[in-house]
Amino acid sequence: MTPLEQAVRAARQAPSVFNTQPWAWRIDGDRMELFTDHRRRVRSIDPDSRLLLLSCGAALHHARTFLDAAGWSAAVERLPDGERPHLLARISLGPPTTPDPEAVRMAAVIARRHTDRRAFSDRPVTGFELTKLRRFVESEGAYLHVVGPEQVTRLAFSAEVAAGTETRDISYRSDLRTWTSRPADSGDGVTARTAVRPAPRPVPVRDFFPGGEARLESGPGHDRGAAFVVLFGLDDRPMSLLRAGEALSALLLLATADGLATAPLSDVVEKDWPRQLLRHLLRGIGEPYLVVRLGYRAGRTAAPEAPRRDLREFVTFVEGEDDASRP
């Protein structure tokens, strides 16, 4: 298996809204390209493809991280063709190089980083850790705002407003049913085994199964030690959102490597009014892209793994007819 094929395998582990995995890859020799798959956009909550671009950016960073850790140099061109906006990035493989130590740590947790929707323990996330994560996010071209204790109530209100607004939206309810009732062999969507049952906590978590089918208990924790961070940028241009997706991947992988559990929260940015409330948290200095909940697991059991699609569904190999359907 070539390094680029291995990189794509790593990239498919990236997080995506509703686990839609809205990306496609094309591998041609020592070069591979990342495309959006707009058929997988959740229209009711992502009319402007903001979350789609974040998801694809996370996949791009997963691929980059694998190559860095494996000791391969790679040149990355983002949005390389203005006439093909669905082409997000082109990665050209270079000669072997010395593996990046931080990339090695992050690549080691790619396969076991899973969104953990259960409540975290009372053990607090330290200021040192949050500063480390913030600097790492900035190195990827985005910014991180740590939600202060006095702001958690406002964040919770944003989440409650978002939940109420979306629950009343017929198109949202339709999309929710679509992505929570996928065929068993589809390799995508949110399954009942990865969704958590509603329980009291400082900031509510999306109820993916309002009918009560979620199988994951909230657990013994109550999120008292959890930290909430807002990933943001200066605008919502495609380049900024793509880079923010890469920063999101860096945040999640580094946090996991450092022993933290993570859970992206996108509902608070999906509707205009909750997103405006987040802008107030940022004091008007940026555009909020996503909120991430960070903390330590309250129990020993790892979060269940979300399904992943078969590579043959979203990877195209150009070299030779015999390679066209290679997994």
Q: Give the tens place of pLDDT for each residue, 144-199.
A: 999 999 999 999 999 999 999 999 999 999 999 999 999 999 999 999 999 999 99
Q: What is the mean pLDDT of residues 225-235?
A: 98
Domain extent listing, the chain? 3-112+315-323, 127-295
Burial 208-246 (b: 16+ CB within 10 A, else e): bbeeeebebebbebbbebbbbbbbbbeeeebebbbbbbb
Q: Give the tens place of pLDDT for each residue, 98-136.
A: 999 999 999 999 999 999 999 999 999 999 999 999 999
Looking at domain 3-112+315-323, its CATH architecture is 3-Layer(aba) Sandwich (3.40)
Helix axes 152-167, 272-281, angle to 10 degrees: 170
Residue 131 identity: T
Residue 323 has pLDDT above 60, yes or no: no
**pLDDT at residue 326 in the model:** 43
In terms of CATH, what superfamily is 127-295?
A: NADH Oxidase (3.40.109.10)
CA distance 154 to 148: 10
Residue 225 has pLDDT above 60, yes or no: yes
**pLDDT at residue 4 in the model:** 97
What's the CA dihedral at 147, 201, 189, 166 to 10 degrees? -80
**pLDDT at residue 284 in the model:** 87
How many angstroms from the chain centroid is the CA of residue 117?
Answer: 13
Q: Give the tens place of pLDDT for each residue, 15-61.
A: 999 999 999 999 999 999 999 999 999 999 999 999 999 999 999 99
Residue 235 identity: D
Q: What is the mean pLDDT of residues 217-229?
A: 96
Residue 142 has pLDDT above 80, yes or no: yes
Give whole-number Cα distances, 73 to 31, 93, 109, 110, 199, in Å.
Answer: 12, 6, 21, 19, 46
Specify which residues 297 forms β-bridges with.
120
Band (pLDDT 50/70/90 cuts) for residue 320 is low
